[in-house]
């Protein structure tokens, strides 16, 4: 019975670690609960007290994650139901090129950048490689950013892309990078908080 419970806890814990940003506190909560049950069954008060303290800390972390996720939702991924509306607002222009940017500190950033590259390649010429930044930019947690050479002259594709994102409730920030060409823009996928 106890072994089956531990196996179930372990399988659920691994799934939560893979799927959810709040998975780590949930896994620690499950492990602390197991330790508390073990301490109670074995009548070991030190283990029980430590595990109960860990349960309280994990519950606080979960509560913080839930509140944070509601206050600052992840605004990076294109909702499946909005893809058609998003693509209808974009017009192909293969004289303009785009590149993608992501961060090594968050694998989901690079996975989403690859997905966006595949979608946007139907409208503009993609650059061969995506830019991978070592550290996150301030203000890009759970967000996207469109980068152009200057604020005065932005490629039409960058403006269309921003309008398309705005139409589905995603508000990408605008940034400037003088190393880009006048007919080139970059979409940077921020980190998950």
Tell me: the pLDDT tens digits for 71-104?
Answer: 556 677 877 788 888 899 999 999 999 999 999 8
In the chain, DSSP assigns E strands to: 97-103, 125-126, 131-133, 144-148, 173-176, 184-189
User: Which DSSP state fits 78?
Assistant: P
Query: Do 182 and 124 fall within a single domain?
Result: yes
3-state secondary structure of 96: coil
Domain end marker among 71, 95, 121: 71
Number of independent structural domains in the chain = 2
Size of the chain, expressed as the number of residues it contains:
193
Query: Do 26 and 56 fall within a single domain?
Result: yes
Question: What angle, 0 to 180 degrees and rounded to 10, lies between the N-to-C axes of helices 45-71 and 23-41?
Answer: 160
pLDDT surpasses 80 at 115: yes
Which residue segment(s) compose the domain that 36 sits in?
A: 2-71
3-state secondary structure of 6: helix
Q: Find the mean pLDDT for residues 127-150.
A: 87
Alpha carbon distance 189, 103 (integer Å): 8
Structure-token match 């939560």, residue found = 16
Compute φ and ψ for 183, nearest 5 degrees. Answer: -105, 20
Kindly report the pTM of this predicted structure: 0.65
User: How many other C-beta atoms are found inside a 10 Å radius of the C-beta of residue 37?
Assistant: 14
């Amino acid at each position: 019975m106890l072994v089956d419970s531990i196996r179930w806890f372990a399988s659920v814990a691994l799934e939560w670690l893979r799927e959810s940003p709040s998975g780590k506190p949930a896994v620690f909560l499950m492990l602390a609960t197991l330790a508390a049950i073990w301490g109670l069954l074995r009548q070991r008060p030190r283990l029980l007290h430590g595990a109960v303290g860990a349960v309280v800390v994990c519950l606080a972390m979960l509560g913080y994650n839930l509140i944070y996720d509601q206050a600052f939702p992840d605004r990076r991924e294109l909702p499946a139901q909005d893809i058609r509306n998003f693509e209808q607002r974009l017009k192909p222009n293969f004289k303009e090129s785009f590149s993608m940017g992501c961060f090594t500190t968050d694998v989901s950033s690079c996975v989403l950048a690859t997905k966006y590259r595949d979608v946007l390649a139907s409208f503009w010429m993609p650059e061969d490689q995506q830019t991978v930044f070592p550290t996150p930019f301030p203000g890009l947690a759970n967000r996207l950013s469109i980068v152009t050479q200057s604020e005065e002259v932005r490629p039409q594709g960058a403006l269309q892309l921003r309008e398309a994102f705005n139409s589905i409730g995603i508000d990408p920030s605008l940034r400037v990078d003088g190393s880009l060409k006048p007919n080139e823009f970059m979409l940077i996928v921020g980190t998950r908080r």
